[in-house]
Structure 1
Amino acid sequence: MSTFTILGLDDVPVPHPARIKELVSGNEQPLPVEKEYLGSVLRQGPSALSTLDTQISQGHEALISLQRQRKEAEAIIRDAQFILHPIRSICSEILLEIFSWCVYDAYNVKDVSKTVQCLNPRHPPWTISHVSRRWRNITLACSMLWSNIALDLDQYEVIDTSDRVYMFQLGLYLNRSRGCDLSVSLCSDYCLETHPVMGLLEAGISQWRNLNIGLCPSTVKTLGENVFPLLRRLEVTSFVLFQENEKTVLTAPELRIFISRCNDMACSLLGIPWKQLEMFSCCNASNRHCVEVLRQLSSAKSLNLTVHKMNNLDLADGAIVIPFVKTLEFEERKCEGVMARLLNSLTLPSITFLSLTFPKLSVSTFPTTFDASTTLTSLSINCDLSHANNSTLFLVFLKSTPNVTVLRLSAAGIPNNVLHGLTLMEGKDSLLPSLLVLKIAPGVPLCEVKLFIGMLESRCTEDEDDNKKGSGSDSYSCGSIQEPLNEETSGRRKLKQLRFQQPELGELRQLNSEDQRRWDTLCSSLEILYNFESF
């Protein structure tokens, strides 16, 4: 509907808009026809405005009604989406599996003081139990979700949490664990013998399966007065012990794993059943107390040792024999030569995996009398081969490991003499003749490309004697590379895999046409993989 229709001027001649502007801007008198039009406007105007106001009001009410209906429709759609959301139809078993990945593993930490506090209501499992009634029922019904207890007791002193609230939360948490095996992580710089939380924790000590402690000696001694019938893993982290403290004897018949971090006195002040341990880790293996413990590890299968302090290494009592150790990871952070001395004193007749890590910009002293020539099949070396005489020492050590099938080499650069040493040639003593897998970290090392390709080519060529013997190399699989070699496969074997740790560093660059052709040929016969983390 036009404005003229509303004003009732459909039958009245309407002047041109330009004429109206001319009359408005000047003092000229309108023509009689124009006067008739203007008079009609004044007579019909108020009625027309009233009609428009009524229509505007009706339109506004209609708009409000439509907006309200839209909001109602949105709410209905949102409710339907919420009700039919896939997560609401997930069965309880799958939800429980998802929830278990949300819960913090108190025993799987390196620094107990940085754990997520189990009583923090802003973290699982507390948060999960407040999402919905169904989630709450699932959370409360599963004691496993409440099996990780991590407490930094000093933190609650700082925020001035009352003992009553603290004890109530912990009691509720323990009650929800309901007999489940517990992983407990405790940290405090103060003596807690009389702290009310200790009594509450000790009441459930029969459930402790994993224990990670960063406590003062007197508190540890108080804990040691209990029996730990299920304790399997003990980790001592970041607390200061003094030699004048009395030894704390822990009664833990099921203990199999012991880890000492940042504290080389733990071995001296903790009396535990060393002979039954299967895994032992010490932050300073050159400590005399650690050496004494090593002599008692008659059941150990895995060792993780570090040297970072200069100690008077006492090996006067002869060789250290650990008959069942299969895995040894050794890191030297300081004190050049100490790791080699300790390795030379070890007799490990069952070892299959050895990892040696040397500090950067230092001489890498390899063991000379450590004998693993028969059983060792996997070797990891992390050292600066370009420093001093390290490359020569490395090659000499490889002569004592003829049965290694997997080599992991972490080095920024590989000198030419190492590439020459690893290249198989007729009339030359072969290093690592049984090598099947070569892992290089982080990627393609700084080296002479032609020599690197030549070394790989020499190891990808079938050996005629092996073909005649039918050594079975074609049946190679990743799952069998760490098994000791038998007499039938003692000859030279063909390299099967080349692995780089970082994909972006796994390409050879700036190759000429001939080298590119050789590399392409290798890629067609050699399995090249990227992005590995460990053995």
Structure 2
Amino acid sequence: MFSFPSTELVSSHAGIPPSISSLFGTNQVPSLVDQQYVYDILLGCKSELGGVTDELCRAHAEVERLEGRLGQIKGVISELEALLHPIRRVPTDIMAKVFEHCVYESQGYARLDIKHAPLSLSQVCRSWRKLVFALPCLWKMVRVDFSTSSPNWYRLMQSQATAMRLWISRSRSVPVSLFLTSFNRVIPSPFLALLDMEIMEAGPRIRELSLRFPTSSLCRLLSFTQGPLEFLEYLHLQSTDTLPGSHSIPPLVLKSASSLQSLNISCFDLDMRGHQVPWAQLTELSLRDGFSPIGDQAPSDYLPILIQCPNLRTCSLGFGSSIPDMISDSVTPVVLPHLCTLKMLTYAETPYLKLFFGALLLPKLRSFSINYANSSIASHFHETECLQMLNRAAETVESVSLCRMDVPDVELSSCLSQLPHLKSLRFRPGRLGLNHDLVAMLTVPSSVTRHGGRTLHQRTICPSLESLDLRCSAAVPVDAVVALVDSRRQFEPRLKHFSLQLAEFAYEHDRGDEIIHTLEARLSGHVDKGLQLILTM
């Protein structure tokens, strides 16, 4: 809507008689005499408007000039302050440490991306760029993922391989770590040949090498094993296949890997026969034989390998296929005098596992975990020979994790009662073993008392327990769970972490929620005093 100017504002303009200004803001028609006055005044106002407009333009130009001058002064101030900034006086060796921290401590690793260090650091200024490219330590590690769904993926792979070569060249003579991955099932042969050549050329300087590719591609990237590998300490070969195929990793020949300490191989149809590896110098070993319900798979007998690894500290094994029955008399005891950690993943319950556990002698075992990975609801794992292995190492075991194992209460109680130094216990049975009695077993008897400033543990199972993770049926009594936590929080060492997963069927869901809310309320006092409590379904 049109808005008339106020009468006071217009009347204040010189030369406008009251007879005209009084008509402002009204719909009245001026007289003939006043109309002539209006024309004359209008011409004068338009002439004055032009002058004011010109003056305003000159004022705007002056403002722009002053703003430009202001920007110039600020720019000079910024440059002068930059000259005095302490960063200019930081010694090169300190800057090198800062850059190295930025690459490996902040990010965890380096990758081919201009948005991440060290490439991002090289875009700050010329001096930083020069320093970044002059520091081999910034280019000693790189992760490259060749997986892509781009229509130009072959060209993209080639450009990444070229960038990786340039990256490695900047590391000069420093040993390098390469972590290369691709989930593309079909990779062109020319690219595999190019990548294989790049790895082989870098082989004499490789300290860590991880290759995660489909098995068919992985088999064509192993030429580096034929060359010198004097710096190689860590080797990881993993198949990214989801189902077994017609290819399998050929036997490795690593006679020149005099520094190799860690070996990790994971694939379907893993057959370790024929591998020539400096087993005796390994301190870490991970062998995972994938499982598939289709296709024939070669058995994985790890005992002949382990007997050659006397210096192992950590071992992780995956049993994916059934091994033909072996005669127990033909199994040679395997002593691993330095092994501290043993992790196992099994997909099948076979007589071989009993022989395997029976052959192991682990005098310094501290941590043991086993996971039965069969996802079938009805599947459950009854093999308890591992408990006897634990009893043989009872004086050193501090951590035990048993997942999807349905162990009878009597056998479980017998095993745990012989582990006086156990600090961490994780027991998550399958559906058919949820109604176990472990909650009552682990409750400290009320007769346990202090004497002479220390706690007596004559009848306590796992008296050193500090972390407990259980999976139970929703039928577990709330009072029993509270009694367990109460008793374990009264004496030293106190329970610090308690996790309970209530496994139940759909029709029990409401009861599970009720139990969790009740436990949270009744255990809140312990939580306030530092207990880490996790209750889930």
Aligned in 2, Cα 1:301/1:422: closer, same or farther, shift over 3 Å? Answer: same
Counterpart for residue 238 of structure 1: 239
Specify which of 447, 451, 456 is matched with residue 485 of structure 2: 456
Shift of 1:411: 6.9
Aligned in 2, Cα 1:381/1:186: closer, same or farther, shift over 3 Å? Answer: closer
Counterpart for residue 211 of structure 1: 209
The aligned amino acid for 1:379 is S
Is the contact made by 1:416 and 1:447 (CA closer than 8 Å) also made in structure 2? Answer: no
Counterpart for residue 364 of structure 1: 381
Gaps of 5+ in 1: 25-29, 107-115, 463-493
Matches within 5 A, 1:258-277: 258-265=263-270, 267-268=272-273, 270-277=275-282
Please give the alpha-carbon distance, in whole angstroms, between the structure 2 residues aligned to 1:211 and 1:358.
29
The aligned amino acid for 1:8 is G
Counterpart for residue 332 of structure 2: 318
Is the contact made by 2:196 and 2:223 (CA closer than 8 Å) also made in structure 1? Answer: no
- Per-residue displacement from partner, 1:203-255 (whole Å, max 9, x unpaired)? 44221101113475764553222121111111111177857956534420111
SS at match of 2:400: strand
Shift of 1:338: 6.1
Counterpart for residue 223 of structure 2: 222
Is the contact made by 2:339 and 2:364 (CA closer than 8 Å) also made in structure 1? Answer: yes
Aligned in 2, Cα 1:168/1:354: closer, same or farther, shift over 3 Å? Answer: closer
Is the contact made by 1:354 and 1:380 (CA closer than 8 Å) also made in structure 2? Answer: yes
Asked if 1:172 corresponds to 2:166, the answer is yes
Counterpart for residue 120 of structure 2: 127
Please give the alpha-carbon distance, in whole angstroms, between the structure 1 residues aligned to 2:271 and 2:69.
67
Is the contact made by 2:271 and 2:299 (CA closer than 8 Å) also made in structure 1? Answer: no
RMSD over aligned Cα atoms: 4.6
SS at match of 1:497: coil
Shift of 1:325: 0.5
SS at match of 2:204: helix
The aligned amino acid for 1:351 is L
Counterpart for residue 63 of structure 2: 66
Please give the alpha-carbon distance, in whole angstroms, between the structure 2 residues aligned to 1:68 and 1:336.
88
Counterpart for residue 255 of structure 1: 260
Shift of 1:79: 8.7
The aligned amino acid for 1:231 is L
Is the contact made by 1:391 and 1:418 (CA closer than 8 Å) also made in structure 2? Answer: yes
Is the contact made by 1:422 and 1:431 (CA closer than 8 Å) also made in structure 2? Answer: yes
Shift of 1:183: 0.8
Relative to structure 2, which stretch is displaced further, 431-440 or 175-184?
A: 431-440
Please give the alpha-carbon distance, in whole angstroms, between the structure 1 residues aligned to 2:524 and 2:288.
45
The aligned amino acid for 1:276 is Q
Counterpart for residue 509 of structure 1: 517
Counterpart for residue 405 of structure 1: 423
Is the contact made by 2:251 and 2:273 (CA closer than 8 Å) also made in structure 1? Answer: no
SS at match of 1:210: strand
Shift of 1:191: 5.8
Aligned in 2, Cα 1:142/1:441: closer, same or farther, shift over 3 Å? Answer: farther
Please give the alpha-carbon distance, in whole angstroms, between the structure 2 residues aligned to 1:98 and 1:66.
45
Counterpart for residue 319 of structure 2: 307
The aligned amino acid for 1:435 is S
The aligned amino acid for 1:46 is L
Specify which of 405, 413, 419 is matched with residue 439 of structure 2: 419
Relative to structure 2, which stretch is displaced further, 415-424 or 321-330?
A: 415-424
Please give the alpha-carbon distance, in whole angstroms, between the structure 2 residues aligned to 1:13 and 1:412.
102
Is the contact made by 1:319 and 1:347 (CA closer than 8 Å) also made in structure 2? Answer: yes
Counterpart for residue 17 of structure 1: 23
Counterpart for residue 53 of structure 2: 56
Is the contact made by 2:366 and 2:396 (CA closer than 8 Å) also made in structure 1? Answer: yes
Matches within 5 A, 1:80-95: 92=95, 93-95=97-99
Shift of 1:258: 0.6
Counterpart for residue 96 of structure 1: 100
Is the contact made by 2:103 and 2:109 (CA closer than 8 Å) also made in structure 1? Answer: no
Shift of 1:140: 1.2
Gaps of 5+ in 2: 1-7, 291-297, 449-456, 501-512
Is the contact made by 1:179 and 1:207 (CA closer than 8 Å) also made in structure 2? Answer: yes
Aligned in 2, Cα 1:257/1:196: closer, same or farther, shift over 3 Å? Answer: same
Please give the alpha-carbon distance, in whole angstroms, between the structure 2 residues aligned to 1:78 and 1:442.
66
Is the contact made by 1:373 and 1:400 (CA closer than 8 Å) also made in structure 2? Answer: no
- Per-residue displacement from partner, 1:433-484 (whole Å, max 9, x unpaired)? 422402337999984221112123333445xxxxxxxxxxxxxxxxxxxxxx
- Per-residue displacement from partner, 1:397-446 (whole Å, max 9, x unpaired)? 42343331333445799746221111233599845342240233799998
SS at match of 1:267: coil
Aligned in 2, Cα 1:59/1:75: closer, same or farther, shift over 3 Å? Answer: same
Aligned in 2, Cα 1:510/1:166: closer, same or farther, shift over 3 Å? Answer: closer
Asked if 1:344 corresponds to 2:362, the answer is no
Please give the alpha-carbon distance, in whole angstroms, between the structure 2 residues aligned to 1:157 and 1:272.
41
SS at match of 2:259: coil
Aligned in 2, Cα 1:247/1:51: closer, same or farther, shift over 3 Å? Answer: closer
Aligned in 2, Cα 1:166/1:13: closer, same or farther, shift over 3 Å? Answer: closer
